[in-house]
């Protein structure tokens, strides 16, 4: 590219105000709904949370949905309810947020990592079977960035070896695979996140969907102090104080304050999804001639487009990913990196893992940048990102 008009990164930034990598979209309806709960006299888990759960189940097309105060809590309870514990192994992607594997360790079990498919950045299906051992109890597919994993294949492989499937669907609210929403695809449990950067938000929060009433009952018990509702119902005579603790449960219930946010956000999920799709298409169109590897399109169903990750073709650029990210920040463009492969984290390294173990994840990680993508962002915002990228590509071109 021509070097005559190159402008140094940060000099005359492409925009004056900082564009964050992500931002929730809270409107008057959410504020009103929260205010009503605050005035109602009932703040913790109650009617609003039940409403959120039933609306969520209806949206997904799953018989049951259970609200949690995070996706992490939902994953933890799902595995606890399935009886995962010391001596067990759980297979998951090395390319995920720490929570996915941390909860496995918290239960005394061992995560067994699988490398990714370099094009989709999802766990490579072909590499799962070789990781199955007599100790394997479950598989946790992670729908990276909102791109559905091949659930038919994963569920049939799990059935063949008598394994459970718990989906990390933190990115995948709204995603569709073979005509069904993620969360209604035959796994034991799918766990969604409502963290502020995710598809919809409750501040902090999560939701598990399942088709199994028995598993739902167990997850409810683990969710709240190990208190059995059976016992509660049995002994309840119009507001009895009696309860029984049947397991050392957690404290992962969602408040009605958060659920009020959730009910309103869920009403907008399709609008948000359409806008995310629109933005992703615009990025794809605008960036197709840049020295980036773009996420491949997803045609068999629907991608939730929680993330739009580009990979720098470092061979064609005179910079590292870190330098490129810093330069984008100087142009007032916020970005993020999803994810640092878990085997490079000190805790997981100490389990005997090392650099080189998962070459596809490492290679993608070195090049990755998640661009700003959130429904509230305008076409002009997106255009400023493209402008900044063009400027930096010219600056760093070899």
Ligand X SMILES: *Cc1c(COP(=O)(O)O)cnc(C)c1O
| Residue 120 touching ligand X (CB under 6 A) | no
Q: Which stretch binds ligand X (CB under 6 A): 6-14, 164-172, 182-190, 223-231?
A: 164-172
Q: Which of 72, 187, 201, 253 binds ligand X (CB under 6 A)?
A: 72
Q: Which of 167, 168, 188, 331 binds ligand X (CB under 6 A)?
A: 168
Q: Which of 49, 96, 209, 259 binds ligand X (CB under 6 A)?
A: 96
Distances (CA, A) of 23 to 200, 263, 373: 10, 19, 9
Range 194-253, binding ligand X (CB under 6 A):
195, 206
User: In terms of DSSP bridges, do strands 292-293 and 309-312 run parallel, antiparallel, or are they unpaired?
Assistant: antiparallel
Is the Cβ of residue 175 or residue 317 nearer to ligand X in the bound state? 175
| Residue 142 touching ligand X (CB under 6 A) | yes
- For residue 347, the 8-state DSSP code is H
CB-CB contact of 331 with 390 (8 Å):
no
Q: Where are the alpha helices (DSSP H) in 224-317?
A: 229-235, 256-267, 269-287
Q: Which stretch binds ligand X (CB under 6 A): 126-134, 163-171, 235-243, 250-258?
A: 163-171
Range 282-321, binding ligand X (CB under 6 A):
none
Query: Among candidates 26, 37, 38, 39, which has minimal Cα distance to 376?
Result: 26
CA 286 to chain CA centroid, nearest Å: 26
Coil, strand or helix: which one is 112? strand
Q: Which stretch binds ligand X (CB under 6 A): 55-63, 115-123, 166-174, 366-374?
A: 166-174
CB-CB contact of 194 with 206 (8 Å):
yes
Q: Which stretch binds ligand X (CB under 6 A): 97-105, 110-118, 228-236, 275-283?
A: 97-105
Q: Where are the alpha helices (DSSP H) in the chain?
A: 28-40, 47-60, 71-81, 98-106, 151-160, 213-223, 229-235, 256-267, 269-287, 321-330, 346-349, 359-367, 379-396
CB-CB contact of 166 with 75 (8 Å):
yes
Is the Cβ of residue 164 or residue 195 nearer to ligand X in the bound state? 195
| Residue 99 touching ligand X (CB under 6 A) | yes
Q: Which stretch binds ligand X (CB under 6 A): 79-87, 119-127, 167-175, 230-238?
A: 167-175
* Tokens matching residue 263: 């009910």
Say how many C-beta atoms besides its own lie within 10 A of residue 47's C-beta: 12
Shortest CB 389 distance to ligand X, Å: 24
Range 321-380, binding ligand X (CB under 6 A):
none
Is the Cβ of residue 342 or residue 388 nearer to ligand X in the bound state? 342
Q: Hey, which residues are catalytic here?
A: 198
Is the Cβ of residue 49 or residue 96 nearer to ligand X in the bound state? 96
| Residue 259 touching ligand X (CB under 6 A) | no
CA 218 to chain CA centroid, nearest Å: 24
Is the Cβ of residue 165 or residue 170 nearer to ligand X in the bound state? 170
Residue 390 burial (C-beta neighbours within 10 Å; 0-12, 13-18, 19+):
middle
Shortest CB 312 distance to ligand X, Å: 22
| Residue 265 touching ligand X (CB under 6 A) | no
The residue ranges that bind ligand X (CB under 6 A) are: 70-72, 96-97, 99-100, 142, 168, 170-171, 193, 195, 206
């Amino acid at each position: 590219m021509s070097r005559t008009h190159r402008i140094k990164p940060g000099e005359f930034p492409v925009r004056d105000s900082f564009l964050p990598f992500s931002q929730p979209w809270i409107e008057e309806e959410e504020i009103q709904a929260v205010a009503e709960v605050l005035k109602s006299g009932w703040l913790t888990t109650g009617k609003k949370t039940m409403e959120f759960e039933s609306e969520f189940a209806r949206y997904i097309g799953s018989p049951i949905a259970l609200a949690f105060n995070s996706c992490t809590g939902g994953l933890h309870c799902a595995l606890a309810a399935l009886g995962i514990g010391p001596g067990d192994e759980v297979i998951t992607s090395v390319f995920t947020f720490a929570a996915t594997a941390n909860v496995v360790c918290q239960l005394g079990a061992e995560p067994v990592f699988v490398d990714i498919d370099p094009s989709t950045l999802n766990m490579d299906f072909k590499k799962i079977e070789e990781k199955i051992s007599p100790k394997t109890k479950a598989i946790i597919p992670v729908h990276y960035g909102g791109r559905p994993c091949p659930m038919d294949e994963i569920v049939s492989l799990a059935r063949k070896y008598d394994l459970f499937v718990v989906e990390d669907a933190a990115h995948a609210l709204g995603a569709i695979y073979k005509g069904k929403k993620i969360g209604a695809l035959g796994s034991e449990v799918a766990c969604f996140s409502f963290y502020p950067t995710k598809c919809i938000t409750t501040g902090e929060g999560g939701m598990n969907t399942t088709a199994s009433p028995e598993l739902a009952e167990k997850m409810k018990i683990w969710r709240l102090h190990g208190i059995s509702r059976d016992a509660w119902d049995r002994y309840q005579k119009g507001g009895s104080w009696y309860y029984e603790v049947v397991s050392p449960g957690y404290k992962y219930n969602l408040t009605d304050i958060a659920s009020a946010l959730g009910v309103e956000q869920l009403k907008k999920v399709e609008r948000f999804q359409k806008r995310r799709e629109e933005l992703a298409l615009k990025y794809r169109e605008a960036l197709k001639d840049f020295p980036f590897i773009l996420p491949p399109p997803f045609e068999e169903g629907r991608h939730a487009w929680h993330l739009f990750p580009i990979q720098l073709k470092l061979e064609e650029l005179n910079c590292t990913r870190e330098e490129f990210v810093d330069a984008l920040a100087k142009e007032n463009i916020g970005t993020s990196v999803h994810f640092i492969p878990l085997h490079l984290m000190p805790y997981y390294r100490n389990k005997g893992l090392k650099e080189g173990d998962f070459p596809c994840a490492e290679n993608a990680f070195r090049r990755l940048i998640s661009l700003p993508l959130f429904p509230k962002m305008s076409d002009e915002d997106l255009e400023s990102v493209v402008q900044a990228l063009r400027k930096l590509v010219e600056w760093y071109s070899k």
